[in-house]
């Protein structure tokens, strides 16, 4: 089975960092064509810095990292330093990146890659606001049909919102972009808070990262130690929800997840519910299904996979 070609679109973010590390630790199954950064958890300059720091942590300064959009399509940028710290990658003490950004804009890299690779062979893995993806689809309407699948972290139904009572952060930041993606006709799998809030970094799971003893294992333990304080205080949960690595894990082991093929639409008109993913989980409308909306994950299997793979780096 050839490795699956993917582009990770990301706003690191400690959880994005772990998702990138999991992909880099799985070269037999994942051919990471490139990383595209977007403004989200922190401004673009920092997400672009952080993505390169993670590649260098993994010993992969060869990975092409392209900077993308620095603001949402229509709204001012909302960031999440309150969760991720002022750098977006607080926790470990990692060196500033030495590798340069790749030349060119992330949106053009996405367009060129989709046109250059055989149709239906490239999977997009957005881990942040969908601004780059939507901009690529708007700039080059031909490329959406060439996407194999979009596996994105975003949205919520039963878990409702984490940045507002109604909306999950990635969708909230750029709801117009999310609306464009949901209407693109692509094969879409959504990894919502309903799943990621079941992927908690408990103390024993964090201890397992640290017990790897490697720079990667220790850094991941430090990242999740930092990242978890917000969610534990807010939800009283047993640990931080490890949102974005669920996307990479789905690419590697979809059998760990379950969900339904349903209609999902994005609220873009109401300030009160901006960015809400209106998921027809119970099939109460006649709206056509447009996404596989995941609802559950086998968490022990997820963390076993993650820890085993991180040990390789
Ligand atoms: O709501 C969680 C999502 O928002 C994650 O992708 C996190 O990294 C932030 O981007
Ligand atoms: Ca993210």
Output the residue whose Cα is nearest ligand 1's atom 8.
13
In ligand 1, the atom with minimum distance to the C-alpha of 127 is: 6
H helix or E strand, kind and range, residue 52: helix 44-57
Active site residues: 243
**Domain spans in the chain, listed from the N-terminal domain onward:** 4-310
- Residue pair 181/134 in contact (Cβ under 8 Å)? The answer is yes
Tokens of 160: 């409702």
Residues near ligand 1 with C-beta < 6 Å? Answer: 11, 13, 15-16, 40-41, 127-128, 153, 162, 168-170, 243-244
SS3 state at 267: coil
Give the residue, by CA position, lying nearest to ligand 1 atom 10.
Answer: 128
Residues constituting the chain: 313
Reduced to 3 states (helix: H, G, I; strand: E, B; else coil), residue 104 is coil
Ligand 1 centroid from CA 193, angstroms: 9
Q: What span, in angstroms and rounded, lies between the C-alpha atoms of 311 and 99?
A: 24
Higher pLDDT, 225 or 47: 47
CA of 196, closest atom in ligand 1: 2
Is residue 68 over pLDDT 90?
A: yes
Select from 209, 221, 214, 300 the least CA-distant residue to 253. Answer: 300
User: Is the pLDDT at 233 greater than 80, yes or no?
Assistant: no
Question: How many angstroms does the Cα of residue 39 sit away from the middle of ligand 1?
Answer: 12
d(CA 49, CA 30): 23
Question: How large is the average pLDDT for residues 76-93?
Answer: 94
**Residue 274's pLDDT band (boundaries 50, 70, 90)?**
very high
| Backbone φ, ψ for residue 116 (5° rounding) | -80, -40
Helix axis angle, 175-182 to 131-139, nearest 10°: 60
Full-model pTM = 0.97
pLDDT at 229: 77
| 3 state DSSP class of 99 | coil
Report CA(25)–ligand 1 centroid distance (Å). 21
Tens digit of each residue's pLDDT (9 = 90 or more) over 87-113: 999 999 999 999 999 999 999 999 999
Q: Which atom of ligand 1 is nearest to the CA of 244?
A: 6
pLDDT digits (tens, 9 = 90+) for 171-180: 999 999 999 9
pLDDT band at 234 (very low <50, low <70, confident <90, very high): confident
Give CA–CA dist 283/141, Å, rounded.
Answer: 30
Look up tokens 């998702």; give the residue: 19
Give me the mean pLDDT over the 273-280 stretch: 98
Ligand 1 atom 2, closest CA: 169
Kindly state the percentage of the chain with pLDDT values over 90. Answer: 93
Quote the mean pLDDT of the chain.
97
Average pLDDT in the 25-39 region?
Answer: 98
Q: Determine the distance separating the centroid of ligand 1 and the alpha carbon of 128, expressed in angstroms.
A: 6
Looking at residue 141, the DSSP 8-state letter turns out to be T
Instruction: Evaluate if residue 275 carries a pLDDT over 80.
Output: yes
pLDDT for residue 230: 76
Per-residue CA distances from 191 to 247, 254, 294 (Å): 7, 11, 6
> pLDDT grade, residue 302 (50/70/90)?
very high
**Residue 11 corresponds to which tokens in the numbers above?**
């706003």
pLDDT at 293: 98
Please enumerate in sequence order all residues whose Cβ is within 8 A of that of 156, keeping only pairs 6 or more positions apart, or say none: 162, 167, 168, 192, 193, 194, 277
Q: Is the separation of the CB atoms in 310 and 212 below 8 Å?
A: yes
Q: Of the ranges 145-149, 191-195, 237-241, which one carries the lowest mean pLDDT score?
A: 237-241
Assigned CATH class of 4-310: alpha beta
């Amino acid at each position: 089975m050839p490795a699956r070609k993917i582009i990770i679109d990301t706003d690191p973010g400690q959880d994005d960092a772990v998702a990138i590390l999991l992909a880099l630790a799985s070269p037999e199954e994942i051919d990471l064509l490139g990383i595209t950064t977007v403004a989200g958890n922190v401004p673009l300059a920092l997400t672009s810095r952080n993505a390169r720091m993670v590649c260098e942590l993994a010993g992969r300064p060869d990975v092409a990292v392209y900077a993308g959009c620095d603001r949402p399509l229509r709204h001012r940028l909302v960031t999440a330093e309150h969760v991720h710290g002022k750098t977006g990658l607080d926790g470990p003490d990692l060196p500033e990146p030495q590798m340069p950004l790749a030349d060119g804009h992330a949106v053009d890299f996405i367009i060129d890659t989709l046109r250059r690779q055989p149709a239906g062979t490239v999977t997009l893995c957005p881990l942040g606001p969908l601004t780059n993806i939507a901009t690529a689809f708007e700039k080059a309407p031909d490329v959406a049909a060439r996407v194999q699948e979009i596996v994105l972290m975003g949205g919520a139904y039963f878990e409702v919102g984490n940045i507002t009572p109604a909306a999950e952060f990635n969708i909230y930041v750029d709801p117009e972009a999310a609306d464009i993606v949901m209407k693109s006709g692509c094969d879409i799998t959504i990894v919502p808070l309903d799943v990621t809030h079941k992927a908690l970094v408990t103390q024993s799971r964090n201890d397992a990262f640290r017990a790897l003893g490697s720079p990667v294992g220790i850094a991941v333990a430090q990242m999740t130690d930092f990242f978890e304080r917000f969610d534990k205080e807010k939800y009283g949960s047993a640990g931080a929800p490890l949102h974005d690595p669920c996307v990479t894990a789905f690419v590697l082991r979809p059998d760990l997840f379950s969900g339904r093929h349903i209609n999902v639409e994005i609220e873009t008109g109401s300030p009160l519910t901006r960015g809400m993913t209106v998921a027809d989980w119970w099939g109460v409308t006649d709206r056509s299904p447009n996404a596989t909306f995941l609802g559950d994950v086998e968490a022990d299997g997820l963390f076993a996979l993650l820890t085993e793979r991180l040990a390789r780096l």
